[in-house]
């Protein structure tokens, strides 16, 4: 799906042109260079006026497990526990980059956010990232009293690859029956390594396109890339059973590579009897909501926070 400038939302067109002319995920070295920058700047990305605490422990897989816990400066008990997973194509990213999401969620509701600092594909391929995220979820359940959250009504979400990991964590939690996930928010999720949908093919949209997607999946799946050995826990679009997954909300732009696979994912959930909703934003490329000075980004933010608040009332408080 070739993306011309006039297909981009008018409010995002200038940003899109700048990004397309200067920002490209060409290969693994691009991911490594960007990760070095993120590692140097991560402390400056933390949201202000919130309690932020980093944790380091040993996982059940005997790996070092790193994550952050973020609370309001005036935390209250019986908060929503939200496992929020950062994006970055599975190959880069830090929890601190999610500061914007974290502050909005905590400002919107009584909420404690836990952010996995999962192993990246530049260090270790699948299933390392999923193991780290799921083990952090187990830690949340086991330390619910300390966190001031309920152990039986945990929310899960993330953006981009973080959305893909949120969907994978939800699958794993359902299949292992160890943790109850009450609600999931996989925003414009990275779900399908096969790249068989029209929006994922020949897509040259700003920020994330077909080439970036190919490089990222190759790093994450290594020798299993483009084989039938790929697990649905790596690429949730490969799942064949969507029953008993948590109620779901997502949103996506209609010119980005993940547009079709996100719609298919929601349709599969709905057909399995799961409450699932999607909002589509015309002319919007990947992560457009990060451009908060635009009205369309503000609209997306208002809408996803409304769904989050609704979920705290209907999937959390209603079951207290």
For residue 21, the surrounding DSSP H or E stretch is helix 13-22
Alpha carbon 68 to chain centroid, angstroms: 16
Q: 154 forms bridges with which residues in the sheet?
A: 181
What is 5-319's CATH superfamily? Alpha/Beta hydrolase fold, catalytic domain (3.40.50.1820)
**For the segment 98-146, what is each residue's pLDDT rounded down to a tens digit?**
999 999 999 999 999 999 999 999 999 999 999 999 999 999 999 999 9
As a whole number, the mean pLDDT across the chain is: 95
pLDDT band at 43 (very low <50, low <70, confident <90, very high): confident
C-alpha closest to that of 265 among 166, 174, 180: 166
pLDDT at res. 257: 98
| 0.75 exceeded by pTM | yes
d(CA 191, CA 188): 9
Q: Cα dihedral sign for 272, 185, 239, 211?
A: positive
pLDDT at res. 318: 57
Query: What are the strands, taking DSSP E only, across the chain?
Result: 50-58, 64-72, 80-85, 111-116, 154-159, 181-187, 248-253, 276-281
Q: Is the pLDDT of residue 59 over 90?
A: no
DSSP 274: -
Q: Cα dihedral sign for 204, 18, 37, 135?
A: negative
**CB of 241 within 8 A of CB of 249?**
no
pLDDT at res. 61: 80
**For the segment 218-269, what is each residue's pLDDT rounded down to a tens digit?**
999 999 998 999 999 999 999 999 999 999 999 999 999 999 999 999 999 9
């Amino acid at each position: 799906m070739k993306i011309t400038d006039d297909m981009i939302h008018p409010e995002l067109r200038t940003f899109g042109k700048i990004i397309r002319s200067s920002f490209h995920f060409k290969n693994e070295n691009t991911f490594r260079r960007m990760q070095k920058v993120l590692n140097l700047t991560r402390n400056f990305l933390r949201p202000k006026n919130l309690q932020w605490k980093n944790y380091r422990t040993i996982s059940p897989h005997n790996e070092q497990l790193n994550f952050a816990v973020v609370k309001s400066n005036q935390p209250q008990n019986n908060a929503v526990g939200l496992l929020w997973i950062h994006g970055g194509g599975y190959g880069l990213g830090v929890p601190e980059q999610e500061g914007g999401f974290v502050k909005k969620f905590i400002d919107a509701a009584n909420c404690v956010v836990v952010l996995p600092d999962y192993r990246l594909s530049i260090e270790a391929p699948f299933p390392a990232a999923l193991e780290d995220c799921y083990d952090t979820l187990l830690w949340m359940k086991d330390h619910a009293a300390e966190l001031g959250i309920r152990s039986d009504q945990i929310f899960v979400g993330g953006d981009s690859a973080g959305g893909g990991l949120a969907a994978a964590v939800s699958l794993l939690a359902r299949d292992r029956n160890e943790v109850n996930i009450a609600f999931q928010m996989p925003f414009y999720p990275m779900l399908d390594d096969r790249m068989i949908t029209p929006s994922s093919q020949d897509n040259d949209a700003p920020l994330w396109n077909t080439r970036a997607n190919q490089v990222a999946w190759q790093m994450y799946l290594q020798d299993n890339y483009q084989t039938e050995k790929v697990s649905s826990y790596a690429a949730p679009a490969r799942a064949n059973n969507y029953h008993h997954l948590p109620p779901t909300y997502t949103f996506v732009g209609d010119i980005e590579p993940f547009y079709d696979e996100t719609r298919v994912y929601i349709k599969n959930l709905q057909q399995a009897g799961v409450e699932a909703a999607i909002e589509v934003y015309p002319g919007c490329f990947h992560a457009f909501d990060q451009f908060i000075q635009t009205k369309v980004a503000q609209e997306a933010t208002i809408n996803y926070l409304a769904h989050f608040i609704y979920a705290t009332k209907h999937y959390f408080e209603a079951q207290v």
